[in-house]
């Protein structure tokens, strides 16, 4: 019997280490939020972007940090406590099940490298949860790696984007990763 594909898991150090900033600054998504707003970092890993977003939304804002890996969610929770970032709410959950986030409450979703690491059977539910939690003018940044371990092929990627209004995107070739900034259609 064939086993079902599983969500990919990573050592936390893979996504939070001194070399990481060479590949992208932690605050590169801060342009999408304003003080007092709400962001959701879905598949947050150890929180490389979560803490920068928390600084951008400030003490009056909120950042949901969600990861299906309990080690990642706990690492974010501990660091938030240590740094006094009460605006960060960490959850160990699949992005396909976000019932702790109210409908139409989020200004910005960050799903960087989430869907390509998430077992395909959860994709439709995750995208439906994205749409449910987004405020009418909200944006989402989604990205998906290519290659052997990616769970998103180019056909599915285009199909996903058709479910949104695409504001910006790349047209990657070869092994380059794909990204898009989208709004509700
Ligand atoms: C490529 S890492 C990206 C981490 C983070 N976004 C970053 O850029 O530093 C993908 C993350 O998605 C998480 N993940 C995989 N499947 C998931 C799911 N079904 N729901 C939530 N998170 C998931 C993994 O545990 C991992 O932390």
DSSP secondary structure string for all residues of 35-59: TT-EEEEET-TTTTTHHHHHHHH-T
Q: With beta carbons less than 8 A apart as the criterion, state whether 155 and 146 touch.
A: no
On average, the pLDDT of the chain sits at 96
Q: Is 50 in the pocket of ligand 1 (CB under 6 A)?
A: no
Q: What is the mean pLDDT of residues 58-75?
A: 98
Work out the average pLDDT over 61-87. 98
Is the CB of residue 45 below 6 angstroms from any atom belonging to ligand 1? yes
Instruction: Report the CATH number of the 32-184 domain.
Output: 3.40.50.150
Report the nearest atom of ligand 1 relative to the CA of 20. 9
- In percent, how much of the chain has pLDDT > 90? 91
pLDDT, greater one: 39 or 174: 39
Query: How confident is the model at residue 23, as a pLDDT?
Result: 85
75 CB under 6 A from ligand 1? no
Q: Quickly state the pLDDT bin for 1 (edges 50, 70, 90).
A: low
What ranges do the domains of the chain cover?
Answer: 32-184
- Using a 6 Å cutoff on CB, does residue 73 contact ligand 1? no
CA of 104 to the centre of ligand 1 (A): 23
Question: What per-residue confidence (pLDDT) applies to 173?
Answer: 85
């Amino acid at each position: 019997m064939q086993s079902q594909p599983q969500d990919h898991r990573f050592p936390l150090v893979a996504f939070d280490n001194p070399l990481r900033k060479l590949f992208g600054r932690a605050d590169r998504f801060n342009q999408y939020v304003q003080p007092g707003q709400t962001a959701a970092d879905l598949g947050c890993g150890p929180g490389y972007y979560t803490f920068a977003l928390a600084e951008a939304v400030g003490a009056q804002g909120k950042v949901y940090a969600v990861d299906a890996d309990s080690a990642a969610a706990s690492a974010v929770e501990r660091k938030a406590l240590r740094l006094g970032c009460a605006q960060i709410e960490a959850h160990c959950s699949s992005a396909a099940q976000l019932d702790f986030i109210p409908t139409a409450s989020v200004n910005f979703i960050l799903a960087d490298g989430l869907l390509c690491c998430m077992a395909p059977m959860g994709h439709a539910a995750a995208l439906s949860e994205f749409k449910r939690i987004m405020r009418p003018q909200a944006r989402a940044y989604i990205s998906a790696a290519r290659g052997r371990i990616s769970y998103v092929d180019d056909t599915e990627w285009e199909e996903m984007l058709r479910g949104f209004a695409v504001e910006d995107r790349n047209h990657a070739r070869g092994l380059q990763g794909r990204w898009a900034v989208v709004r509700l259609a």
